[in-house]
Amino acid sequence: MIKRFYEELSEDATSSLQRDAWGGKETELETFSGYVVREAARLGVKVPVTVRMYKRLSDTITDCTKIKTCKTAVLPLK
């Protein structure tokens, strides 16, 4: 999958999450990442990478919604 991402997909390829955020539509973030974070908390399981990813994506989508565009938003990796 990583090889495909770096070597086979075109540079302008986007995810459905990106397209939904850009279009002002509801994203699947809560359905997938939000669910994992909530269930992990309920079960007492630590999922720090998932929590960090979920928080950053959530913050980025919220910020993009406020400024009405995500086309220029870049999610930092650190």
Tens digits of residue pLDDT in 21-54:
777 788 889 898 999 999 999 999 999 999 999 9
Question: Hey, what are 56's tokens?
Answer: 């950053």
With bands split at pLDDT 50, 70 and 90, how would you rate the model's confidence at 75?
very low
Question: Hey, what are 59's tokens?
Answer: 């913050």
CA distance readout (Å), 3 to 6, 8, 14, 74? 5, 7, 16, 21
Residue 27: CB atoms within 10 A of its CB come to 19
pTM > 0.75: no
Tens digits of residue pLDDT in 50-64:
999 999 988 888 766
CA 16 to chain CA mean position, Å: 10
